[in-house]
Structure 1
Amino acid sequence: MKKSYCPIDTFINVIKGKRKSTIILHLSQGNKRYNELIKLIPDISDRMMTKQLKELVADQLINREVFPEVPPRVEYSLSELGREIHPHLKGMFRGGILFEKMIDAENN
């Protein structure tokens, strides 16, 4: 995580990426395994999902827990920081809906 000139830029730089905010929104509903996330976000490749999950873990927005089982089971959950930023992402989600309605109205 790198600090930017403006806190808004710092926030956007941390959460930007292929479906990072979507991953956080899904994890706000409970812990998920990798395959569950893939099913919830079908338009992301395995490679990209793995990359985004690693970055979210590195930025301390999500936790990755490996259970000592055979075969190993891995679960992802929101960290405390992830829970703190969740309401802000929900606000962005609502803002996106407003923009989509405006775009739909212009196209009709």
Structure 2
Amino acid sequence: MKRKGILSIVRTNPQFITIENLNIKGMMRSKRLANSFQQIGLGNIVDWFKIKCQDYGIELRQVDRFYPSSQICSDCGHTQPMPLNQRTYHCHHCGMIKDRDINASINLKQATDYTVIV
């Protein structure tokens, strides 16, 4: 996601955007992930979000690094382990089935424990 992707998000004029406080330096030490992160400029994405959210008057929120966004069922709140190779969240409590990333994004939107960074 480059500038155009971020701009398309902020142009929808949401009340807020919530992002995760990722350990980018730690992820860069992974041989599997480092090249991909360098290609997309992951470190710059947060900076661009800050700039564009400020320009558009959108609150930018950041959840803690250890917030388990992909491990919480966005329907019932049940928490269960989610290995990185598992791409579909299947809740053992309520039976909900969603794509891992969609489930995590819903949880980020619903997060109540965050820091406002813009």
TM-score normalised to structure 1 length: 0.28
More helix as a share of residues: 1
TM-score of the two chains, using structure 2 as the length reference: 0.27
User: Structure with the greater relative contact order (CA < 8 A, sep ≥ 6): 1 or 2?
Assistant: 2
